[in-house]
Structure 1
Amino acid sequence: MHTFLTRGNATVAYTLSILAGLTFCCFISTVFLDYRTNARINTVKILVKNMPDYGSSREKHDLGFITFDLETNLTSLFNWNVKQLFLYMTAEYKTAENVLNQVVLWDKIILRGENAALDFKSMHTKYYFWDDGNGLKNNKNVSLYLSWNIIPNAGLLPTVKSHGGHIFKFPAEYTAAPM
């Protein structure tokens, strides 16, 4: 009748079909969940300096320094289909040259089983807040948002923005650069 290889191939193909169906059921069971939650962000200290950018040119660009507080509880986001969360804080602002500027200032990875209730005080940004011109000084409408990517076991990789952000302004004068 059928050879050993034909029967083995049919068994493997059937098993893979069943596993694909089960993976799809796992995906569909969590795809419609709302993964948004509240986050409270507050700026503590805000400075802006006009510094030479040695990475791309010798021109002087604005460099912002922010110290912030962050409080949120992300434990409700974890279910059986969430392996980890990739958190990142972005600053969004408008300048004369660009309608929308987005800069990632801070990030963190939270694995399943780790403490997901965050309460950070006087945190410094992890990455430089460079502007590609002089758009930070006296900018009155800079918004901070906490967002995250959910890394699932099966399914889509959604990007979610938290409820609540923080709007602040940069000072009208540059802070003196250290000598």
Structure 2
Amino acid sequence: MHSVLQRGNALFAYALSVLACLTFACFVSTVFLNYRTQADMKTVTVVVKNVPDYSASREKNDLGFLTFDLHTDLTHLFNWNVKQLFLYLTAEYETASNKLNQVVLWDKIILRGENAVLDFKNANTKYYFWDDGNGLKNNKNITLTLSWNIIPNAGFLPNIFSHGSHSFKFPTDYTNSRM
């Protein structure tokens, strides 16, 4: 005859097996969904300054300032396996010293149940747009891209890029360095 402890252990092991199967079914039911959507962006104002970087060598580096418009609807991305979205806006560009530069300019977390329609007009960047040299002045190919991570209840953490990006250029002259 089995003891109470052995029966409890068997019941607990069975319950964990059922929960693991349900978690896997949750993952499989949403892993093949298309989480990409259209995002419309444009820059409103673009300024570049040459200022000292006091956090490092105190050399003068380029600092870009921009305001942007962003419109997208992310409500259809939420399903029963999505807890939240981590959105971020990146700028990608090329300089003489680096083939690929990526800078995160803005981010936002949207929880399930919150408004997932983004309609920003003249929004400021959340983070500084520093270049590690003088690669922003007269740079003609800066590309803004909206990306997001889906934080699921079960499964892996996908990195998804939106359909649509926006390219712009920085001015050929520095703006007054006083801040």
Same fold (TM over 0.5): yes
Q: Which amino acid aligns with 1:79?
A: N
Question: Aligned equivalents of 1:114 and 1:8: distance in 2?
Answer: 42
Q: Aligned runs of 1:24-39 on 2, under 5 Å?
A: 24-39=24-39
Alignment partner, residue 86 of structure 2 = 86
Show CA shifts across 1:67-95 (max 9, x none).
00000000110111111100000000000
Question: Aligned equivalents of 1:99 and 1:13: distance in 2?
Answer: 54
Alignment partner, residue 52 of structure 1 = 52
Question: Aligned equivalents of 1:2 and 1:94: distance in 2?
Answer: 70
TM-score normalised by the chain length of structure 2: 0.99
Number of aligned residue pairs = 179
Q: Which amino acid aligns with 1:129?
A: F
Q: Which amino acid aligns with 1:115?
A: N
Q: Aligned runs of 1:4-19 on 2, under 5 Å?
A: 4-19=4-19
Cα deviation, residue 57, structure 1:
1.2
Show CA shifts across 1:27-74 (max 9, x none).
000000000000000000000000100001110100000100000000
Cα deviation, residue 4, structure 1:
1.3
Question: Aligned equivalents of 2:2 and 2:81: distance in 1?
Answer: 40
Q: Aligned runs of 1:82-161 on 2, under 5 Å?
A: 82-161=82-161
* SS of the residue 2:68 aligns to: strand
Alignment RMSD = 0.7
Question: Aligned equivalents of 1:176 and 1:120: distance in 2?
Answer: 27
Residue segments in structure 2 that go unaligned for 5+ positions in a row: none
Cα deviation, residue 19, structure 1:
0.2
Residue segments in structure 1 that go unaligned for 5+ positions in a row: none
Show CA shifts across 1:115-164 (max 9, x none).
11111000000000000010000000000000000011111110100000
* SS of the residue 1:143 aligns to: strand
Alignment partner, residue 72 of structure 2 = 72
Q: Which amino acid aligns with 1:132?
A: D
Cα deviation, residue 177, structure 1:
1.3
Cα deviation, residue 173, structure 1:
0.3
Question: Aligned equivalents of 2:22 and 2:78: distance in 1?
Answer: 20
* SS of the residue 1:138 aligns to: coil
TM-score normalised by the chain length of structure 1: 0.99
Q: Which amino acid aligns with 1:30?
A: T
Question: Aligned equivalents of 1:92 and 1:178: distance in 2?
Answer: 26
Cα deviation, residue 5, structure 1:
1.1
Q: Which amino acid aligns with 2:88?
A: Y
